[in-house]
Amino acid sequence: MVLLAVHGGAGGDGAWRGMTDADPQRLRCMFVLLERLGAQLADGSLDALEAVTLAVEAMEDEALFNAGRGSVLDAEGRITMDASVMRGTDRAAGSVVALTQSRHPVRVAHHLLQQGWPVMLVGQAADDFGGAAGVEQVGNDWLKTELRQAQWQKWRDAKLHPGATDEDDALLDHDGEEDGWGTVGAVALDANGQLAAATSTGGMTGKPLGRVGDTPIIGAGTWADDRVAVSCTGVGEAFIRTAAAHTTAVNHRTMSLQEASKRVLDDVAPLGGRGGLIAVSAQGEVVVPFQTMLMYRGVYRDGVVSVGIGPDMEEGFRP
């Protein structure tokens, strides 16, 4: 049995309000990559580590997700991206922080994992490492989309007018909800029973310079060992303070994956970090819980792909 699950970020408050015009494109991206990579996992031509890396790369290339091209802009209107990847068998890990020019941050993290040491690289040195390893280098402007620039402009206008009304703030929040948060992640169980997890993000719109969320922090946003692989999404600070991904793995030693992940999200929420996670176990469990209005997510299992955004998974979805 093989498993592949992905997420494309969690967010929003209140009841599910249905799909936006952009959502079918996000679903299509997840569906297509799950069908392709799931089949390769099933026939044994892909291992878990490469599967999660390719899955995240495909979502970094989809401009509607907040990773790679289409990442959100920081306080100064620049894109800085974080990513990490972990292999369960030997807990090898690679993590990169504040990349500004690598097209595929997760591939830079993957190269770092394969090199074996160090586990983390930050800033220009990480981009340079990626470039030397063959990861395509692009300009920061190439990574920016009109949608993200418009969101950033709204964020800045609201900041520049301290007298902004609650209604303005609500509008900004609402836009955020409609576009989702968009961080991406993947977890996999391959034909040899090996697990891996990967996560990639542009962070949060208007984040202060130098801010690092949970995504590149091994044990917070990403974790894999010989029993479970986890990728998280949500307000990163709360996932860091609960060591969310690792805590899911520890909980799972004594309870089902469903219960283990629920307890973690229950812990995260009071710290202001409602969100979601995806996890697979070596025994073949797969869970995709979230506490927000939505979480973009999809699962490949036994040749069947299901994708979802709101509370229900859509098994019948065809791109």
42 or 126: whose CB is closer to ligand ASP?
126
238 or 299: whose CB is closer to ligand ASP?
238
Q: Which residue has tokens 């409602």?
A: 274
Of positions 27, 106, 196, 204, contacts ligand ASP by CB under 6 A = 204
Residue 113 tokens, joined: 């994992």
Applying the rule CB under 6 A, the residues between 164 and 193 that interact with ligand ASP are: 181, 183
* Contact between 151 and ligand ASP per CB under 6 A: no
105 or 203: whose CB is closer to ligand ASP?
203
SS3 25: helix
Residues in the chain: 319
127 or 214: whose CB is closer to ligand ASP?
214
Q: Which residue has tokens 């097209």?
A: 103
Q: Kindly write down the DSSP assignment for every residue of 86-127, as one continuous string.
A: EETTT--EEEEEEESSBS-HHHHHHHHHHH-S-SEEETHHHH
Residue 188 tokens, joined: 């996999």
Stretch that binds ligand ASP, among 46-54, 105-113, 211-219, 289-297 (CB under 6 A): 211-219
* Contact between 53 and ligand ASP per CB under 6 A: no
* Contact between 205 and ligand ASP per CB under 6 A: no
- The Cα 50–Cα 48 span in angstroms is 6
Stretch that binds ligand ASP, among 116-124, 229-237, 243-251, 277-285 (CB under 6 A): 229-237
Sign of CA dihedral 16, 143, 277, 237: negative
Of positions 47, 214, 225, 267, contacts ligand ASP by CB under 6 A = 214
194 or 201: whose CB is closer to ligand ASP?
201
Of positions 105, 176, 206, 234, contacts ligand ASP by CB under 6 A = 234
Q: Kindly write down the DSSP assignment for every residue of 182-225, as one continuous string.
A: --EEEEEE-TTS-EEEEEEE---TTPPTT---STTSBTTTEEE-
Find, among 179, 138, 155, the residue nearest to 77 by Cα. Answer: 155
Give me the amino acid identity at 218.
Answer: I
* Contact between 201 and ligand ASP per CB under 6 A: yes
* Contact between 213 and ligand ASP per CB under 6 A: yes
* Contact between 215 and ligand ASP per CB under 6 A: yes
Stretch that binds ligand ASP, among 50-58, 128-136, 231-239, 244-252 (CB under 6 A): 231-239
* Contact between 216 and ligand ASP per CB under 6 A: no
Find, among 240, 145, 241, the residue nearest to 199 by Cα. Answer: 240
Residue 248 tokens, joined: 């899911």
Q: How far is the CB of 73 from ligand ASP (least distance, A)?
A: 13
183 belongs to the catalytic site: yes
Active-site residue, from 53, 80, 100, 183: 183
Q: ω into residue 118 within 30 of 0, thus cis?
A: yes
Map residues 3-42 to x or -, x wherever contact with ligand ASP holds by CB under 6 A. Answer: ------x---------------------------------
Longest dimension (CA), the chain: 59
φ and ψ at residue 290, rounded to 5 degrees: -155, 155
Which stretches of the chain bind ligand ASP, using CB under 6 A?
A: 9, 181, 183, 201, 203-204, 213-215, 221, 233-236
- Active-site annotation, residues: 183
